[in-house]
Structure 1
Amino acid sequence: MEAADIRFSEEQNRRAVEMRNAHELVEQIKSISIIRENELETKLKNSKTEMEIMKADLMDKQSDLEGIREENPFLNTRLSGVISGQAQYELEIELQNSISDIENLKENLMDKETQLRNLSKENEMLR
């Protein structure tokens, strides 16, 4: 009987140790699970924040794009005017150059006429 009591007592001790080990393992698994859950919640929160920032950026970009779309016809019209104005400016410069060339030709013609008159007078005198 004493041997049976000893075996019973040893069995109870072994079961108590196993139960304690099982409880410690469960607590360790719970602790790891809580830590992992907190990490995942933090990642989820960060992802949601990042997504909100990206949505705000997207809305800003869409707003910018809409502004550009609205401004584009005006800028095209203005550009056409600038190109037309540039062509007009170039034509005005060409006109000024032509007027200057005509003035120079008139001066040359007047000089030649003066020379011709002088030569004609000289020729008359020599006759």
Structure 2
Amino acid sequence: MFSRAVLLCLFLVLSCLPVADAGAAQQSSEKALREHYDLQEGKRLYGEYCRFCHGEQGKGHAFNVTPPPADLTSPAVQRKSDIELTQTIHEGERGTAMGSWKWALSKEEKQHILLYIRWLAQSSQQVPAQSP
């Protein structure tokens, strides 16, 4: 009788494990999907508001002004905190052509652009695969 109760408890515990894993997998999948859509929205907004000066790849060679637009993929820019970069998007950069976007972009839109800027830097560091 005791061994039957132990086996029953063990069965119940083990049968709950896949459910917990399925819930974690679903949460992970939902998070990945949300990040994908946030990145796509950041790309769209970057194309609309930032690409003209910073260029398609964020290198800052698209528009001829002095000082030149920042290379958003550079280590100097990427070392800045998310707060600093968001503040630059919000307020602009004094002494440069970088204007303020505080009236044009919502807080959420600025976060999407920030995500895309971080992604641009990561993708620019990846070495393309060599073809055989």
Q: Same fold by TM (over 0.5)?
A: no
Pick the structure with more helix per residue: 1
Task: Please report the TM-score for the alignment, with normalisation by the length of structure 2.
Answer: 0.36
> TM-score scaled by structure 1?
0.37
